[in-house]
Amino acid sequence: MMKTFGFILVVSVLITFGESRDLEDCSQEQARLRAQVHLLETRVKQQQIKIARLLHEKEIQFLDEGEENSVIDLGSKRQYADCSEIFNNGYKRSGFYKIKPLQSPVEFSVYCDMSDGGGWTVIQRRTDGSENFNRGWNDYENGFGNFVQKNGEYWLGNKNLHLLTKQCHSANLNGVYHRGPYTAETDNGVVWYTWHGWWYSLKSVVMKIRPNDFIPNII
């Protein structure tokens, strides 16, 4: 019985030693596989970055090589109020873009001059006399001219010009006469923001003009 027990004990020890070695090999294999997975994930991320960079370069190349007579498509759902917003969002090429001022019901085309600091919204251009500017009120109100060619002559239109300037006004001396502090749905009073803010309607204003070369006759 003692010999038999000793034999069983030796066999048991050998089996245990073998299982331990198998577990060690398995752990090493798992570590190797995890390292490979990490390496593959790193390479995938690098490729994704490279693809994104190539797509961006392709977009810039498309904008640079686009037809002169076409409106530049920014390819996004964002709407820009004027050319300054387009410039500050990274688009540095001069050309026609679609803008939508804050209170405008629709988009319209305008030429954005990205030189001289960038962000210029061109409201009028005369270059070669190709456009007749001797027009009536309706044409000037709605705008007219060549809105597709780089050097085309045009007038943007009083309505569009009003929408562009209204979104950045700091004073409105032709507002509703509220006589002092007021409340309303909009800041529609006779206001001068940098002086009394939006919610104080000035009680008295006078606007005057005279020639720059005026010399008073004191005799």
CA distance 78 to 98: 11
Burial call 197-207: b when 16+ CB within 10 Å, e when fewer: ebebbbeeeee
Sign of CA dihedral 160, 166, 168, 172: positive
What residue has token string 């037809």?
67
Domain of residue 95 covers 69-167
Based on the domain organization, do 76 and 113 belong to the same domain?
A: yes
pTM: 0.52
Domain containing residue 84: CATH number: 3.90.215.10
Based on the domain organization, do 141 and 157 belong to the same domain?
A: yes
Closest CA to 63 of 92, 100, 98, 86: 92
Domain containing residue 183: CATH number: 4.10.530.10
Listed ranges 66-75, 80-89, 204-213; the one with the highest mean pLDDT: 80-89
Residues 146-183 pLDDT 10s: 988 888 899 999 999 988 887 777 788 888 899 899 98
pLDDT at 9 over 70: no
Residue 2 falls inside a structural domain: no
Based on the domain organization, do 78 and 118 belong to the same domain?
A: yes
* One-letter identity of residue 159: K
Q: How many domains are there within the chain?
A: 2
Residues 93-149 pLDDT 10s: 999 999 998 888 899 999 999 998 889 999 999 989 899 999 999 999 999 999 888
Based on the domain organization, do 185 and 159 belong to the same domain?
A: no
Based on the domain organization, do 146 and 85 belong to the same domain?
A: yes
Residue 10 falls inside a structural domain: no
